[in-house]
């Protein structure tokens, strides 16, 4: 294991975040705080509780998950896309590093940033509403696993993208709508039976439900289903990356 190479890429990616601190950290935190104020004030005045939890506290896991998914994808996608854009990807491919080491460095850095932002948002939310965490170990586990899973997905998007438009299209047109429709701001049990059944085909439902369970001990689906989906998604992303590095798809001219 080339730990020096992994550490060099990991450190470089974190320093890139430091150079763009307002864009990388402050912007998502402020945006999420605005979501919290708007949804908490507008809907919270009409819905006092959801499943015995005040509406303001209920949406905290959903807001964290919304930011976690988009930031994990964006951080990892940009991290690998820029070497392709500038042509330095060939230096990475010719370096004495395996594909596992390169992916570990980029995905590890993206996941670290996402986890950090998620914890900052959690700390910010406690200033607005009383938040309790019944299962802190599982909360951290879901936070890390979700960040790693979608950082892997973002890494794949960064390799697939040929331009900046493609780089942004998946988070904007797929992840954000799925999160809004995945129970981030409501419980799918509040929906009519037909639409609840349809919602179960939304993968984000399982992520939000598992994360919310770690806070309040209640979720829309079982914890086993949430954990199983997350692990399955990680396995699928790893399989796709194995194919990419073995064939050189979108990496080599």
| 118 three-class SS | helix
CA 7/CA 89 separation, integer angstroms: 17
Chain position carrying tokens 């990807």: 89
Q: Is 191 exposed, middle or buried (0-12, 13-18, 19+ CB in 10 A)?
A: middle
Q: Return the biggest CA–CA distance within the chain.
A: 59
Tens-digit pLDDT profile for the chain (253 aa)?
788 889 999 999 888 877 777 777 777 778 777 877 777 667 766 777 887 888 888 989 998 998 899 889 999 999 999 888 888 888 887 888 888 899 999 999 999 999 999 998 898 888 878 889 999 999 999 999 999 999 999 999 999 998 888 888 888 888 888 988 898 888 998 899 999 999 999 999 999 999 999 999 988 999 999 999 999 999 999 999 989 988 888 886 5
pTM: predicted TM-score of the whole model, two decimal places: 0.90
Per-residue pLDDT of 25-52, as tens digits, reads: 777 778 777 877 777 667 766 777 887 8
Residue 44 contacts residue 38 (beta carbons within 8 Å):
no
CA 153/CA 196 separation, integer angstroms: 26
């Amino acid at each position: 294991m080339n730990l020096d190479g992994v550490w060099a890429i990991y450190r470089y990616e974190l320093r890139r975040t430091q150079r763009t601190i307002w864009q990388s950290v402050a912007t998502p935190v402020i945006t999420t705080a605005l979501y919290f104020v708007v949804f908490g004030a507008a809907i919270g005045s009409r819905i006092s509780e959801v499943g015995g939890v005040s509406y303001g506290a209920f949406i905290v896991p959903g807001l964290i998950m919304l930011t976690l998914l988009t930031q994990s994808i964006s951080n990892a996608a940009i991290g690998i896309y820029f070497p392709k854009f500038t042509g330095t990807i060939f230096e990475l491919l010719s370096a004495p590093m395996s594909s596992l080491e390169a992916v570990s460095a980029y995905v590890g850095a993206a996941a670290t940033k996402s986890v950090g932002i998620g914890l900052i948002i959690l700390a910010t939310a406690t200033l607005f509403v009383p938040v309790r965490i019944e299962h802190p170990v599982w909360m951290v586990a879901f936070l890390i696993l979700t960040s790693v899973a979608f950082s892997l997905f973002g890494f794949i998007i960064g390799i697939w993208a040929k331009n900046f438009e493609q780089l942004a299209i998946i988070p904007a047109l797929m992840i954000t709508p799925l999160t809004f429709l995945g129970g981030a701001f409501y419980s799918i049990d509040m929906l009519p039976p037909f639409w609840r059944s349809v919602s179960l085909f939304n993968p984000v439902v399982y992520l939000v439900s598992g994360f919310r369970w770690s806070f309040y001990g209640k979720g829309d689906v079982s914890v086993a289903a949430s954990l199983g989906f997350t692990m399955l998604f990680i396995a699928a992303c790893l399989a796709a990356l194995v194919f990419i590095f073995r064939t050189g798809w979108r990496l080599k001219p």
